[in-house]
Structure 1
Amino acid sequence: MKPEDWIAHDPDPVTAAELAACDADELTARFARPLKFGTAGLRGPVRGGPDAMNLAVVLRATWAVAQVLSRRGLAGQRVIVGRDARHGSAQFGAATAEVLAAHGFSVLLLPGHVPTPVVAFAVRATGAAAGIQITASHNPPADNGYKVYLDGGLQIISPTDRDIEEAMAAAPPADQIPRAPVAPADTDLVERYIERAAGVRRGGGSVCIALTALHGVGGAVAVETLRRAGFDDVHTVATQFAPDPNFPTVAFPNPEEPGAADALLALAADVAADVAIALDPDADRCAVGIPLGMSGEAGWRMLSGDETGWLLGDYILSDTQGRQPGTRVVASTVVSSRMLSAIAADHDAVHVETLTGFKWLARADADVPGGTLVYAYEEAIGHCVDPAAVRDKDGISAAVLVCDLVASLKAKGDNVSDVLDRLARRYGVHQVAAAPRRVADVVEAANIMRRLRADPPRRLAGFDTTLDDITDALIFTGGDADASVRVVVRPSGTEPKLKCYTEVRCAVAEDLAATRQRAEALSRQLVAEIQRW
């Protein structure tokens, strides 16, 4: 569609005027690349044009979803619609529901803002044909997004994403797409989600918890879920508890970013907490902080997503009482640590490695005969601890299980640091590090990937290496039984950079501290070599 036609049919006078004021170069840029369904749906800045999130794009995307569902024989069935509290979310959520209703679907518009895992849960719990959540998760304040669930609450994969994109390209002008009024539903689905998430707890005991919602929508639901799980001693970062789309106290609303958890860890120290929990803005991710005093040091530190993944994977697989018949499956992505594979083998479970993203992790048991997914995680602090109810990452149920683990350890006079030490002694020290490389644009990223394929490095950190070229990444591995290195390189789907994930594994002979020092030295060497690529 030509810019002048788009502007003439933009149903939002604000974005229409914004586009009309753009110069020719800016208009050309905005119309060059329409939003595409990436790892987690559509995502982009809230502004005018087909390359961004706005009312016109949401209307056309929803029209396309309605066409795809109808072609698959799902016309008239239930669709769940939810949204977070970002800029534009209320308008986009209502518009999504209205388009679906006008197409004859039975629309359940969740009241107010809700955490993303509630929508994934609701689709699965009600047998809905689809679910749509308006959210940009932990993206910058200027962004918003559009996430689609099908098939029992699983994120869409190809060819569904391409089918929707093709339908979007053929959609009518936005102001000609039919809409019908939809009132927010009087539903108990949020209540049912809270009860289910609280139920992942398996033990007893009390712990003191520090928690931040990071200006997102998970605060109230998380506190109530923890309370019902038996955790009454919860202290929240007051300045970050209420939803605020401007995220005023953090430079970047992602618990993994430097400084994002500072207020949380200060609170944890003040209240002498046993554990600190940071949810991202839509509460599908959970970051965990622990006191360093457990290992003889003062202060607190945040665990990496991999460390939390090792802890939860081992904790879930160690549970024999709740074990169901059949093969237990755990999963992690190609860019996550390899330790979960070793843990799974030790517990007579199957480990599956998937491509990046929970759209793949949620399907990890599909090709395992008699297999049932019991846990999945990605290094970017995403954890799925109750796949039977939520086949996506869920920060709130993960928080409950983390607190349950800490309570169980505390009751035995044990702690998280000691568990991590025991895992290292048993499976080796796994030192993980990210080494992102900034590039000018997608063209430069593609050129570097092409060069690495044609002329891969023969040695890394002193080890001969081999290359495994998979769908969207290059994997370099080398080493022996005593030590090994691994590097995964892939282009970012959302930013101008190459993402490089490194892992060094060193077997522990006697001295754990010395082994960690060796692993850290190898890791630094590995990262330095990557930066020269």
Structure 2
Amino acid sequence: MDQVINQKVSEWLEGSYDEETKAEIKRLQAEDPQELNESFYKSLEFGTGGLRGIMGVGTNRMNKYTVGMATQGLANYVKSQVNESPKAAIAYDCRNNSSFFAEVAANVLAANGFTVYLFDELRATPELSFAIRELGCHTGIVLTASHNPKEYNGFKAYWADGGQVVPPHDGNIVAEVRKIASVDDVKWEGGEGKVVKINAEVDEPYLKMLEGLAVSPEAIKAQKDLKIVFTSIHGTGITMVPRILERLGFENVHIIEEQAVVDGNFPTVVYPNPEESEALSMALAKAKEIDADILLGTDPDADRVGIAIKNHKGEWTLLNGNQTAALLFNYVISARKKAGKAQPNDFVCKTIVTTDLIDRFAKANGMPCYNVLTGFKYIAEVIKEKEGKENFIVGGEESYGYLIGDSVRDKDAIAASSMICEMAAYYKNEGKSMFDQLIDIYVEHGYFKEKLISITKKGMSGAEEIAQMMKDLRANPPATINGSTVLEMRDYQSSETTDLTSGEKSVINLPKSNVLQFILEDGTKISARPSGTEPKIKFYFSVNTSIASADEFDSADAALEEKVAKIIEDMKLN
């Protein structure tokens, strides 16, 4: 490994890299050899979120050269797949260097003969997806690291359908990038005049599309004073969420101004992640102060949204992604039916680690729910496959990503925010809270409680530890967990389900992915998945029970909470 690293370092010091980059490499050699090793021991590759990493010099870092080489590989592949003059759209978020990386990518694509539509101000990831389809592009790029810490940035590549690249395109793009022997193979300039700056040309049709998603406009009109607190956590949500809420008719929106400031250093939070209660603490304080009806917080590129509402005891609570998904899916399905908008070929879609409660009420409504691998690109792939035959209405994943309608092909926190506020208005108009509705769903379809734990293992040794954990689980699946027999193991890497009592195997008809699931006799489901974008392994726990009335919710909740804790203890994950 040391020899490989030294060779890469020499190539950068002797190659066509700027002097600032070479000076930084020499500084690391003298002052921080461990960081130098981390920066060069591998090359960034596409995961579920594309190219993502810490910013800095080196093959394993986000910088001008890794972005340029990725863009050149993308350009080469797109040109091999289209028979016309190629077109691309590019957007970027609030992160440090995002606008710079966007310009780098735009210049490389333009030098390769592309007409490039580049947003001249930061815009949300879902608007980039919309722009690809609106402008008839063959590909698209958004520069973002989503909810990662401030040291990170990333490069998401999209295809002509507006979805992130999926097999075989993603692998083929990586293969093209690997063919680029040096930065000298990148066309850095020569496309003058082929970069077209955009903003309003896409903003207006995007907002009109969002307006058209409303299912119950009369509820919004009746509850136009709904007290909404919104924070963009220094990110791109500020560009569109307030605008669409105003256009829908909401007149009482309170923006957390300190976090409306666009800043890639995210000065008011530890992590710009709406999954973290700390990131929403300022908004929560405001919600309590004004006795708000709902709180919304979007991540830096506004593709994910976290919400807080009052529970059945009047206490503010942050919903997890599964709870929000359950509410959102249930509302879209039922409200469309009530409004006479439901179609016989409607369908919904979610990931394999998202609550199975959604499968239950989709089935109860006579509607298919397609389950796909983790990564919203797989939901987009299903939408594309079903286009013209079945009608997609809502999709989502437990990590706070949701999509309404098929005009965008990635998770859309702007559309989700507007639909969540409409939902809050709808239930308030009926004299009930969103939490009341959530409990009603549990009574009707079963109470599912989910928990996610992430174990971080950084660097070279961390990657090896995570790989060994997955290897051990595959080789020695547990016979029982917390006293319940493990009935089957689903291995999405080998595309096989194994009945652990009979040994019989069956095929999983999904792309291969490094995910394991264990299905227990008592209905528990446990999933293990190394993150595609972070140095983590994630364990997802889902337990369930039935409750006959809302009065049973608290006791059932406590019992399931204890059950999950015992499972984690039994698996030695705490």
TM category (shorter chain) comes to over 0.9
Aligned length: 526
The alignment status of 1:468 with 2:490, answered yes or no, reads yes
The amino acid that maps onto 1:133 is V
Partner of 2:175: 166
Residues 82 and 437 (structure 1), Cα distance of their counterparts in 2 relative to 1, 3 Å cut: closer
Q: Which amino acid aligns with 1:505?
A: N
Q: Quote how far apart the aligned CAs of 1:75 are.
A: 5.1
1:110 is matched with: 119
Change in Cα spacing, 1:9 to 1:228, as seen in structure 2 (3 Å) is farther
Shift of 1:301: 1.3
> Counterpart amino acid of 2:307?
V
Displacement of 1:497 in angstroms is: 3.2
The CA distance in 1 between the partners of 2:381 and 2:120, in whole Å, is 29
Confirm whether residue 517 of structure 1 aligns to residue 561 of structure 2.
no
1:379-528 aligned within 5 A: 379-386=398-405, 388-439=406-457, 441-466=462-487, 467-471=489-493, 472-480=514-522, 484-510=523-549, 511-528=552-569
Aligned match of 1:310: 326
Cα distance between partner residues in 2 of 1:429 and 1:26: 47
CA distance in 2: counterparts of 1:135 and 1:18, whole angstroms: 24
Q: Would the alpha carbon gap of residues 367 and 9 (structure 1) be closer, same or farther in structure 2, given more than 3 Å must change?
A: same
TM-aligned CA deviation for residue 368 of structure 1: 5.8
Amino acid at match of 2:381: R
Match of 1:226 in 2: 245
Q: Distance in 1 between matches of 2:397 and 2:288?
A: 28
1: CA distance between counterparts of 2:259 and 2:481?
43
Aligned to 1:235: 254
Which residue of 301, 308, 313 corresponds with 1:296? 313
CA shift for structure 1 position 446: 1.7
Given that 1:199 and 1:229 are in contact with CA atoms closer than 8 Å, whether structure 2 keeps it comes out as: no
Partners of 1:495 and 1:530 lie apart in 2 by: 23
Alignment of 1:83-482 (within 5 A): 83-171=92-180, 173-174=182-183, 177-179=187-189, 180-181=191-192, 182=195, 184-185=197-198, 187-202=200-215, 203=217, 204=220, 205=222, 206=224, 207-292=226-311, 295-298=312-315, 300-318=316-334, 319-320=336-337, 321=339, 323=341, 325-365=343-383, 370-386=389-405, 388-439=406-457, 441-466=462-487, 467-471=489-493, 472-480=514-522
User: Is contact 1:10–1:16 with CA below 8 Å preserved after alignment?
Assistant: no
CA drift at 1:436: 2.7
Q: What does 1:1-40 correspond to in 2, within 5 Å? A: 2-23=8-29, 26-40=35-49
**CA separation in 1, counterparts of 2:398 and 2:282?**
23
User: Per-residue CA shift, 1:292-344, capped at 9, x if unaligned?
Assistant: 3xx2334x111111011001101111112463644222111111111000010
Does the residue aligned with 1:246 lie in a helix, a strand or coil? Answer: coil
Greater helix proportion:
2
What is the TM-score with the length of structure 2 in the denominator? 0.87
One-letter amino acid of the counterpart of residue 187, structure 2 = I
Q: Equivalent residue of 1:184, what SS? A: strand
The root-mean-square deviation of aligned C-alpha atoms, in Å, is 2.0
Q: For 2:294, give the aligned amino acid.
A: V
Q: Which moved more, 1:438-447 or 1:116-125?
A: 438-447
Q: CA deviation at 1:11?
A: 4.6
Distance of 1:348 and 1:499 partners within structure 2: 33
Q: Is the 8 A contact 1:437 1:531 kept in 2?
A: no
1:288–1:303 Cα contact (<8 Å) kept: yes
> For residues 267-312 of structure 1, what are the alpha-carbon distances to aligned partners after superposition, in whole Å with 9 as ceiling and x for unaligned?
11112211100000110001111023xx2334x1111110110011
Change in CA separation of 1:408 and 1:159 when aligned onto 2, cut-off 3 Å: same
Aligned-residue offset at 1:360? 0.9
When structure 1 is superposed on structure 2, of 324-333 and 173-182 the one drifting more is: 173-182
Specify the SS of the correspondent of 1:531: coil
Of the structure 1 ranges 361-370 and 63-72, higher mean CA displacement relative to structure 2 is found in 361-370
Looking at structure 2, the residues matched to 4 and 322 of structure 1 have their Cα atoms a distance apart, in angstroms, of 67
Tell me if structure 1 keeps the 8 A contact 2:49–2:533.
no
State how far apart, in whole Å, the 2-side matches of 1:304 and 1:191 are.
32
SS of equivalent residue, structure 1 residue 99: helix
Q: Percent identity?
A: 31
Deviation track 1:341-377 (CA, whole Å, cap 9, x = no partner) reads 0010011110111110101122234666932321111
Query: What is the alpha-carbon distance in structure 2 between the residues aligned to residue 235 and residue 33 of structure 1?
Result: 45
Q: Deviations over 1:4-24 (max 9, x none)?
A: 332344554433321232226
Contact between 1:208 and 1:275, CA under 8 Å: does it hold in 2? yes
Query: CA distance change for structure 1 residues 169 and 9 in 2, over 3 Å: closer, same or farther?
Result: same
User: With structure 1 as the length reference, what TM-score do the two structures score?
Assistant: 0.94
Q: Report if aligned partners of 1:329, 1:365 keep a CA contact under 8 Å in 2.
A: no
For the structure 1 residues 460 and 28, does the alpha-carbon distance in structure 2 shift closer, same or farther, using more than 3 Å as the test?
closer
Structure 2: distance between partners of 1:197 and 1:224: 11
TM superposition shift of 1:91: 1.1
1:100 Cα shift? 1.0
Kept in 1, the 8 Å contact 2:233–2:266? The answer is: yes
In structure 2, distance between residues paired with 1:384 and 1:492? 22
Conservation of the 8 A alpha-carbon contact between 1:6 and 1:173: no
